C-alpha cells in the first residue's frame, strides 16, 4: 500500500500561490506585522523545497493597467462588501512582484495569473505534466478563494495536494478556518508546516 504520509520529491512540486508584495509586505505597518509569520513560514517552506530539489512555481495575480482583461461579474459577496469580484495587482508594478526573502531564482517558474485558479490560463498544469509531477504543495491567499479554487481543480486533474496551513491567509478568518478545516479536506491533505517538512524528510 502506498504510504499516504510521505512525499516523493521526484514527483512533487511547490506552488507559491500569489505570495506577492501586496499581500506579504503591504505598506500598512500593522498589516505588514500581521503578515510577517506567513512570510517567515514561506521562507522555511521554500528553503526546504529547494533542498529537496522540488520545482518551485510562483503565481502572481495581475491585470492590465487599462483593465482590458478584467471582467467583474456580479456576485453576492461583491454586492455585500463593495469589493470587486476580481482584485488583481496591476501588471508590472512592484506590488505584483515578490518579497526579497522569497524571490524567485533563475531555475524557478513564474506565471502571471489573471483569474483565481493557479491553473486556469496559466500553463501551470502543462508544466506539471511536462515535469512528470503529480503531487503539489500549495499555500497562499486568500485561502478560501484562490487557494481553495486551485485545490479543487487540482483534485479534478488527479493531482495529490498538500496544503500548508501557515502559508495560507485570508482577510476573512471564519472563511479561512472553514476552508482549511472543512472544505479542502475533501480534496487534499491539510498539514502544518512542521508536518510538511517531515513529509519532505527535512
- What's the pLDDT band for 6 if we cut at 50, 70, 90? confident
User: Is 152 within 8 Å of 159 (Cβ atoms)?
Assistant: no
Instruction: State how far Cα 173 lies from the chain centre.
Output: 17
Q: What are 137-192's pLDDT values in tens digits?
A: 999 999 999 999 999 999 999 999 999 999 999 999 999 999 999 999 999 999 99
Cα 181 off chain centre by: 17
> Of 118, 114, 59, 58, which Cα lies nearest the Cα of 87?
114
pLDDT tens track for 48-107:
999 999 999 999 998 899 988 888 888 998 888 887 887 888 899 999 999 999 999 999
Cβ partners under 8 Å of residue 149, min gap 6: 116, 117
Long-range contacts of 27-32 (CB under 8 A, 24+ apart): none
Question: Is residue 79 left, alpha or beta, with left meaning phi > 0 and alpha meaning psi from -120 to 50?
Answer: alpha
Say how far residue 99 (Cα) sits from the centre of its chain.
Answer: 15
| The pLDDT value given to residue 95 | 92
Residue 1 has pLDDT above 50, yes or no: no
Q: Cell numbers 504510504 label which residue? A: 3
Domains present along the chain, CATH in parentheses: 12-199 (3.40.50.850)
**Between these two residues, 36 and 72, which has the higher pLDDT value?**
36
**What is the reported pLDDT for 4?**
63
CA–CA distance, 77 with 69 (Å, rounded to integer)? 21
Amino acid at each position: 500500500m502506498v504510504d499516504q504520509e510521505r512525499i516523493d520529491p521526484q514527483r512533487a512540486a511547490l506552488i507559491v500561490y500569489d505570495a506577492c508584495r501586496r499581500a506579504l509586505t503591504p505598506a500598512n505597518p500593522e498589516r505588514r506585522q500581521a503578515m510577517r509569520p506567513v512570510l517567515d513560514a514561506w521562507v522555511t517552506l521554500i528553503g526546504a523545497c529547494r533542498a529537496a530539489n522540488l520545482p518551485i512555481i510562483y503565481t502572481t495575480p495581475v491585470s492590465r493597467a487599462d483593465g482590458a482583461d478584467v471582467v467583474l461579474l456580479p456576485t453576492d459577496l461583491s454586492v455585500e462588501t463593495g469589493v470587486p469580484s476580481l482584485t488583481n495587482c496591476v501588471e508590472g508594478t512592484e506590488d505584483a512582484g515578490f518579497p526579497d526573502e522569497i524571490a524567485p531564482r533563475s531555475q524557478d517558474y513564474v506565471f502571471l495569473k489573471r483569474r483565481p485558479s493557479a491553473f486556469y490560463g496559466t500553463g501551470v498544469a502543462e508544466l506539471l505534466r511536462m515535469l512528470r509531477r503529480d503531487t503539489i504543495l500549495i499555500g497562499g491567499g486568500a485561502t478560501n478563494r484562490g487557494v481553495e479554487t486551485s485545490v479543487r481543480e487540482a483534485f479534478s486533474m488527479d493531482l495529490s495536494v498538500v496544503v500548508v496551513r501557515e502559508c495560507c491567509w485570508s482577510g476573512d478568518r471564519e472563511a479561512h478556518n472553514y476552508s482549511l478545516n472543512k472544505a479542502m479536506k475533501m480534496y487534499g491533505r491539510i498539514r502544518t508546516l512542521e508536518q510538511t517538512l517531515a513529509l519532505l524528510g527535512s
